[in-house]
Structure 1
């Protein structure tokens, strides 16, 4: 089925679609594409809502000898994207520090996720997809600073540094 652009608030278009053939066969705006309007829908991979943006949130799990790289690929609506960002980043902060290279990879992963968070945070509230089934978007949950596991994850490297300093100073 061909996709039609989603343009909430477009005036004079049935259901807010412009420049493509509407489901009933008629063309919105006389069939002429509207500048600045995307030519197809991007629906959230979890709930099917629109608008959605394609991005990937990463995670890192450091083990003493090995490490594991995690990722969850979009597209995501605003609510589902924020939920995935918060989940992956919190897990990375708690599980990412346990290895030599992981002490560098973990903060880099968190910064990358913070940058990518902006893409989903700027989206408008999710709306049901007009052509496909949609579900209720996920609850993004509390912000990172309001999650106890985030503070535990931030405290781990601080505790490690204090422990290293204590061991180094007691040996002299």
Structure 2
């Protein structure tokens, strides 16, 4: 039974009404937004194309890839292909061929230098080398100068052999290299004084070694 101390609802009872600061359930529940993390195992979301994505655009400072050189054999790189000064064919290279003429009292040193293709350079070398083997011995100093000139021309021959065959036609046909030096009459005749000089040098060396 209800006793005497049962409190009945009176004027001072304050009923709990929802106020301005009442937190309704689910008011601050995190809504899915742009920063929501999908899961613990997925840490690298795919990058979607956005307004700040940098696409490779060719600009004035873009460095083009270097093109492969179509010509080898010691040809100059970085620039236009050189043309032969004699026929205009290419490629060509700088070549220097020397010659010598001994004339008893006086002597004369010759030189042909220029940018030449392989056939023109080879023709120049064979002509100068063959003429030197015949005309270069007839003088006191020429006996020493002629072998030196022949040896120097061997260095020019190695440069000529590194020049590729012409791939660009010129304004005229290139020089005909002709036969090799020792298949020409000048080369065959020049073997006689050359062998004499070599024989004298060998005898001098053997004499100095024996004495």
Q: TM-score, normalised by structure 2?
A: 0.56
Root-mean-square deviation (Å):
2.6
Q: Using the TM superposition, give the Cα deviation of residue 40 of structure 1 relative to its aligned residue in structure 2, in angstroms.
A: 2.1
Using the TM superposition, name which of 35-44 and 135-144 deviates more: 35-44
Aligned match of 1:90: 130
Alignment of 1:17-56 (within 5 A): 33-34=66-67, 37-56=77-96
2:180 is aligned with 1:143: yes
Q: Using the TM superposition, give the Cα deviation of residue 157 of structure 1 relative to its aligned residue in structure 2, in angstroms.
A: 4.3
Higher alpha-carbon Rg: 2
Mapped partners of 1:85, 1:136: distance in 2? 18
Q: How many residues align?
A: 132
Q: Residue 128 of structure 1 contacts residue 135 of structure 1 at CA under 8 Å; is this kept in 2?
A: no
Aligned match of 2:161: 121
More helix by share: 1
Q: Residue 133 of structure 2 contacts residue 194 of structure 2 at CA under 8 Å; is this kept in 1?
A: no
Of 91, 102, 105 in structure 1, the residue corresponding to residue 142 of structure 2 is: 102
Unaligned runs of 5+ residues in structure 2 are 1-62, 70-76, 200-211
Distance of aligned partners of 1:104 and 1:91 in 2 relative to their CA distance in 1, 3 Å threshold = same
Distance of aligned partners of 1:145 and 1:61 in 2 relative to their CA distance in 1, 3 Å threshold = same
Distance of aligned partners of 1:45 and 1:99 in 2 relative to their CA distance in 1, 3 Å threshold = same
Mapped partners of 2:78, 2:174: distance in 1? 22
Mapped partners of 2:178, 2:81: distance in 1? 26
Unaligned runs of 5+ residues in structure 1 are 1-29, 163-172
Q: Deviations for 1:7-44, whole angstroms, at most 9, x for unmatched residues?
A: xxxxxxxxxxxxxxxxxxxxxxx966547633122111
